[in-house]
């Protein structure tokens, strides 16, 4: 379903997508509340805590 939606957007969209950044993070097992955002400037750390 997602692949079909992407195809439709690429066929009819007025935008050209050149780059799509992929974010990867490694973390310890006792780290809680860390989530990667949709872009690098939305990776907030104020919710992070350790057990």
Total domains, the chain: 1
Q: Which domain holds residue 27?
A: 2-50
16-22's contacts with Cβ under 8 Å and 24+ in sequence apart are none
Mind listing the pLDDT tens digit for each residue in 1-51? 989 988 888 888 887 777 777 777 888 899 898 888 777 677 778 888 998
The Cα 38–Cα 46 span in angstroms is: 17
Predicted structure pTM score: 0.41
């Amino acid at each position: 379903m997602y692949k079909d939606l992407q195809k439709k957007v690429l066929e009819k969209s007025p935008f050209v997508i050149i780059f799509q950044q992929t974010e990867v993070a490694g973390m310890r097992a006792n780290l809680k509340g860390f989530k990667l955002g949709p872009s690098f400037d939305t990776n907030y750390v104020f919710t992070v805590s350790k057990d």
